[in-house]
């Protein structure tokens, strides 16, 4: 009932773990045995320590983070995942140009089912959302040479234009959205809280933005879309899928609920049953037609 296929990858359910949440280390990822797929922490060519603390703070309708793409670098990371017991592991990668993207993708591709190109981190300048739109095309083309399906992860800014570039480069799916560029100031100190001052907003508050992005991409292009942003329960998954998502990813929810996957899947099945659907694929994009 919940089986889906995205760019040739068969998943027993459409609920994936989003990049950057409990997915830096092998055993942490292995603990999410009920997820349809796991996306790794974004990995680059060289190690990055990330930004200074505080890298996290809570806010009214979600959380802010500015981890800063900390990762041990692709060579070290391969040692982390080469014996991992996960059926659908997807590598999230970032780079400052097409050659860096290609190098990382080539090294990591033998160990994963697909590559997710992170071109949307809201606080990482050129290795993030400032990756030039007109260079997305060739970067994707390069990563496609690995032979693995390529997902391109975008943020809310300028999303249709950037999606179009990704599709021209041969993207197999679009992942939308990354966290939203944001900040919080501590009024007692009159100072931004995050070490990097600016970070990414995720969780409940960004769901309407994510749903809109997925809806618009689905309306304009014909390729699989993976919806991310503020999913807190099965109803949110259904909303994203009705907007056109073929699968979804969950990030911030892990902060509130350590192991949400099995429960969400059970609730999805119940909802589908109650509403007369035999497969979750039957609800994909149904809100687009209205």
Ligand X SMILES: Cc1cc2nc3c(=O)[nH]c(=O)nc-3n(C[C@H](O)[C@H](O)[C@H](O)COP(=O)(O)O)c2cc1C
Any idea which residues carry the catalytic annotation? Answer: 121
Neighbours of 279 (CB within 10 A): 12
Instruction: List all residues 6 or more positions away from 195 whose beta carbon is below 8 Å from its beta carbon.
Output: 51, 52, 53, 54, 55, 66
The pair of three-digit structure tokens given for residue 255, joined into one six-digit string: 């902060």
- Is residue 20 part of the contact set for ligand X (CB under 6 A)? yes
Q: Which helix (H) or strand (E) holds 254?
A: helix 253-256
Based on CB atoms, which residue is closest to another protein, 57 or 223?
Answer: 57
Candidates 13, 19, 42, 71: give the one binding another protein (CB under 8 A): 71
| Min dist. Cβ of residue 206 to ligand X (A) | 6
Based on CB atoms, which residue is closest to ligand X, 251 or 285?
Answer: 251
- Is residue 41 part of the contact set for ligand X (CB under 6 A)? yes
Based on CB atoms, which residue is closest to another protein, 83 or 134?
Answer: 83
Q: What is the DSSP string of 199-240?
A: EEEESGGGHHHHHHHHHHHHHH--S-EEEES---SHHHHHHH
- Is residue 48 part of the contact set for another protein (CB under 8 A)? yes
What span, in angstroms and rounded, lies between the C-alpha atoms of 144 and 151?
10
| Min dist. Cβ of residue 67 to ligand X (A) | 5
| Min dist. Cβ of residue 210 to another protein (A) | 18
What span, in angstroms and rounded, lies between the C-alpha atoms of 64 and 182?
7
What span, in angstroms and rounded, lies between the C-alpha atoms of 144 and 98?
11
Stretch binding another protein (CB under 8 A), from 44-52, 136-144, 213-221, 261-269: 44-52
| Min dist. Cβ of residue 197 to ligand X (A) | 16
What span, in angstroms and rounded, lies between the C-alpha atoms of 231 and 176?
12
Instruction: Using DSSP, state whether 7 is helix, strand or coil.
Output: coil
- Is residue 186 part of the contact set for another protein (CB under 8 A)? yes
Q: Select the binding partner of residue 70 from another protein, ligand X, none (C-beta < 5 to 8 A, by kind).
A: another protein
Return residues touching another protein (CB under 8 A).
20-25, 27-28, 30-31, 41, 47-50, 52-58, 65, 67, 70-73, 76, 186, 188-189, 191, 193, 195, 252, 254-255, 258
């Amino acid at each position: 009932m919940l089986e889906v296929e995205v760019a040739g990858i068969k998943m027993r359910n459409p609920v994936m773990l989003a990049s950057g949440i409990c997915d830096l280390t092998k055993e942490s990822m292995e603990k999410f045995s009920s997820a349809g797929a796991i996306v790794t922490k974004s990995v680059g060519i060289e190690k990055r320590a990330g930004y200074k603390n505080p890298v996290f703070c809570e806010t009214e309708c979600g959380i802010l983070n500015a981890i800063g793409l900390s990762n041990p670098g692709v060579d070290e990371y391969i040692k982390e995942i080469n014996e991992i017991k996960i059926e659908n592991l997807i590598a999230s990668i970032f780079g400052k140009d097409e050659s860096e993207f290609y190098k990382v993708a080539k090294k990591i591709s033998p160990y994963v089912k697909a590559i997710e190109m992170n071109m949307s981190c809201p606080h990482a300048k050129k290795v993030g959302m400032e990756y030039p739109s007109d260079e997305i095309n060739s970067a994707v083309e390069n990563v496609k040479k690995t032979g693995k399906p390529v997902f391109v992860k975008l943020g809310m800014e300028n999303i249709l234009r950037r999606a179009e570039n990704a599709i021209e480069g041969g993207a197999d799916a679009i992942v939308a959205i990354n966290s939203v560029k944001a900040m919080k100031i501590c009024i007692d100190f009159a100072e931004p809280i995050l070490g990097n001052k600016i970070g990414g907003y995720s969780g409940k508050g960004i769901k309407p933005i994510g749903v809109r992005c997925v809806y618009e991409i689905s309306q304009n292009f014909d390729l699989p879309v993976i919806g991310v942003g503020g999913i807190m329960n099965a109803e949110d998954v259904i909303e994203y899928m009705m907007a056109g998502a073929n699968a979804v990813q969950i990030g911030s929810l892990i902060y509130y609920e350590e192991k949400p996957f099995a429960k969400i899947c059970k609730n999805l099945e119940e909802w589908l049953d109650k509403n007369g659907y035999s497969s979750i694929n039957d609800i994909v994009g149904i809100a687009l037609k209205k």
